[in-house]
């Protein structure tokens, strides 16, 4: 996944953790303006409509063909949350990005992979109507903070080089471009360059007290 919006102000994260003796489970993250919450089956219509936008399909892959297909995607995400409860690795978990003022879903932010060496990769996308208000920047900040809270030793993003809005969000959040993977991606049969952005715990602008 990759962000599709212009950058805004970075803010701190606050997680709502279940008080269950340290037991893991789905969480909700918020900074007051943006909420990241787990997907529900009732979000299927939004997923279908928003992810059909050409720019989102361009950088994130084919959208679900129907609400039933979207429900199946959401069920896989829910399975990943259940696995996280047991194993502690958040690979495959994902959040709906919600505009807190409107209480409406506007995007998606999810963990693509958590490695055996505690390296986390995530991605994000934003519906067309929500761009240009700093929402993706806030969501990426919340996600990065949560991954460091979980113990990530490194958090990284892979973004196609020509995806300028997503690159701007990564830089705004505090990620450093480490280089370009030439001809790493493929879109409509054409090879594409992909940039790698990463941040380490001691580089995280918000530190460890957020």
pLDDT at 56: 86
Which secondary structure element, helix H or strand E, spans residue 190, and what is its range?
strand 190-199
Q: Which residue has the tokens 């109507």?
A: 129
Question: Helices then strands (H, E): number in the chain?
Answer: 5, 9
Would residue 174 count as lying in a domain? no
The pTM (predicted TM-score) of the whole model is 0.85
According to DSSP, the β-strands at 14-16 and 176-187 are unpaired
> Structural domain tally of the chain?
1
- Domain CATH for 103: 3.40.630.30
pLDDT at 187: 79
Model pLDDT for residues 140-187, shown as the tens digit of each residue: 999 999 999 999 999 999 999 999 999 999 999 999 999 999 999 887
What per-residue string of b and e applies to 75-112 under the rule 16 or more CB within 10 Å gives b?
eebbebbebbeeeebbbbbbbbbbbeeeeebbbbbbbe
Would residue 6 count as lying in a domain? no
Which of 135, 40, 174 has the alpha carbon at shortest distance from 95? 40
Report d(CA 30, CA 14) in Å as an integer.
Answer: 5
For residue 115, give its domain range. 14-155
DSSP annotation of 132 = T
Q: Which residues of the chain have pLDDT under 70?
A: 1-23, 206-210
């Amino acid at each position: 996944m990759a962000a599709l919006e212009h950058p805004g102000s970075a803010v701190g994260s606050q997680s709502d953790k279940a008080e269950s003796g340290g037991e893991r489970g789905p969480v909700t993250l918020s900074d007051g303006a943006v909420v990241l919450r787990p997907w529900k089956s009732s979000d299927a219509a939004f997923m279908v409509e928003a992810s059909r936008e050409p720019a989102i399909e361009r950088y994130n892959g084919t959208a679900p063909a129907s609400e039933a297909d979207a429900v199946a995607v959401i069920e896989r995400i829910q399975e990943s949350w259940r696995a996280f409860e047991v194993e502690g690795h958040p690979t495959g978990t994902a959040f709906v990005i919600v505009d807190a003022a409107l209480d409406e879903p506007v995007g998606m932010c999810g963990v693509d992979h958590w490695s055996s060496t505690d390296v986390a990769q995530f991605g994000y996308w934003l519906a067309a109507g929500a761009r240009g208000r700093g929402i993706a920047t806030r969501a990426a900040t919340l996600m990065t903070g949560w991954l460091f809270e979980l113990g990530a030793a490194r958090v990284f993003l892979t973004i196609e080089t020509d995806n300028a809005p997503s690159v701007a969000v990564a830089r705004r959040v505090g990620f450093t471009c480490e280089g370009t993977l030439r001809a790493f991606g493929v879109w409509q049969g054409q090879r594409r360059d992909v940039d790698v952005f990463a941040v380490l715990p001691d580089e995280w602008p918000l530190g460890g007290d957020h």
